[in-house]
Structure formats: structure tokens, C-alpha cells
């Protein structure tokens, strides 16, 4: 039996192997009868996956610290992960990571136009998506914890709004009563 030749790992070999990770392909997505070219990565680099996860966690952390978190915002965070995948592994121009509202808006657009479905169901390599999901699952506990905290903040904000509405309502009723009293005191009848 012949022994398998062992190759040397040189800088040139590393560069050659690394360049394979940069391979891209053109795909076409039909929107309203028109085809649009989208360039996607053939390989999802682990370093890029880690950057994506880090930015997703940062977005969740930012949302957690905001005062006006709603249930709708919480639901939108689920779409953001897919939007970040599109941001990092396609040439589709998306808002900066710091523009959370812009990312949420474009998430809805990508979903409504069928772009998200086309990319994930037809064009992204299933093995690459699986690799990404495995990495996300490694930090899923932290993601779940942050989403839970965001949900708790949303509940608190909703309760505070209802308390403010109740307080405003009570103040409004008191003002109406004052006006009614003044009108009845000054009435000519």
C-alpha cells in the first residue's frame, strides 16, 4: 500500500487555499418580472460568520438598552439575523449595522419582495447555511437571553405607556370637570 503524500503548508499554499474561500457566483432573482443579478459568496468564512454573530449580539444589546422597545421590535430582531446574512454574503447594499431601524425596514423589503426566500431556498449553499447555523447555535443561549431581556423591556414600556395614558386620562377628566364647573358658575341661565 502506497503512503499518501503529505504536503507542506507554506505561505503560498495558505494564500491559495484562502483565495478559494473568496469565490463568488452570480445568481438572478426575479422581482416583478425583471431579473436582478446578485453576487453571492460560495463559501461562508468562519471569520465573517463570527463577525456577523458579534454584530447581531451588538444589535440586540443596543435594542435592550433603548427606552422605546416594543413587541414589534422584538419580532423584527428575528428577521435581522437573515438580513445580516444577506449583508455579509451578498453584494446587496444594506444599511450600516448601527442603523437598526434601517436594517429592520430593509428586512421587511427583502421579505416582501421575495428576495430573502430566493436567496435562502434557491441560491445559498445549504452546507454553508448549516455551517452558519452551527456557529449561531454555539451562542444561541446568549442570543436567547438578550431577546428575553428585550422582551421584558418591551413589556415594561407597554405597561408604562398604559400608565401614562391612564394618568393623562385622569388629568383630562379633571380638566373637563374644572371647565364644566367654571362654565356652570358663569352660566347665564
Domain extents for the chain?
A: 40-172
- The fraction of the chain above a pLDDT of 90, given in percent, is 38
- Whether 157 and 68 have beta carbons less than 8 Å apart is answered as yes
pTM (2 decimals)? 0.69
| Grid cell for residue 131 | 455551517
Q: What is the pLDDT of residues 61-99, one digit of tens each?
A: 787 677 566 667 667 777 888 999 999 999 999 999 888
pLDDT at position 140 over 50? yes
The Cα–Cα gap between 48 and 88 comes to 7
Amino acid at each position: 500500500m502506497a503512503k499518501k503524500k503529505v504536503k507542506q503548508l507554506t505561505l503560498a499554499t495558505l494564500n491559495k487555499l484562502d483565495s478559494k474561500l473568496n469565490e463568488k457566483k452570480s445568481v438572478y432573482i426575479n422581482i416583478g418580472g425583471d431579473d436582478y443579478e446578485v453576487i453571492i459568496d460560495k463559501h461562508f468564512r468562519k471569520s465573517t460568520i463570527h463577525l456577523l454573530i458579534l454584530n447581531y449580539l451588538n444589535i440586540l444589546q443596543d435594542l435592550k438598552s433603548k427606552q422605546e422597545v416594543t413587541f414589534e421590535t422584538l419580532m423584527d430582531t428575528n428577521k435581522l439575523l437573515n438580513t445580516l446574512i444577506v449583508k455579509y454574503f451578498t453584494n446587496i447594499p444594506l444599511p450600516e449595522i448601527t442603523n437598526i431601524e434601517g436594517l429592520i425596514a430593509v428586512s421587511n423589503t427583502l421579505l416582501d419582495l421575495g428576495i430573502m426566500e430566493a436567496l435562502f431556498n434557491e441560491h445559498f449553499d445549504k452546507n454553508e447555511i448549516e455551517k452558519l447555523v452551527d456557529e449561531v447555535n454555539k451562542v444561541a443561549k446568549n442570543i436567547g437571553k438578550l431577546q428575553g431581556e428585550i422582551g421584558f423591556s418591551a413589556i415594561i414600556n407597554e405597561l408604562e405607556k398604559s400608565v401614562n395614558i391612564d394618568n393623562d386620562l385622569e388629568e383630562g377628566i379633571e380638566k373637563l370637570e374644572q371647565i364644566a364647573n367654571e362654565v356652570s358658575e358663569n352660566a347665564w341661565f
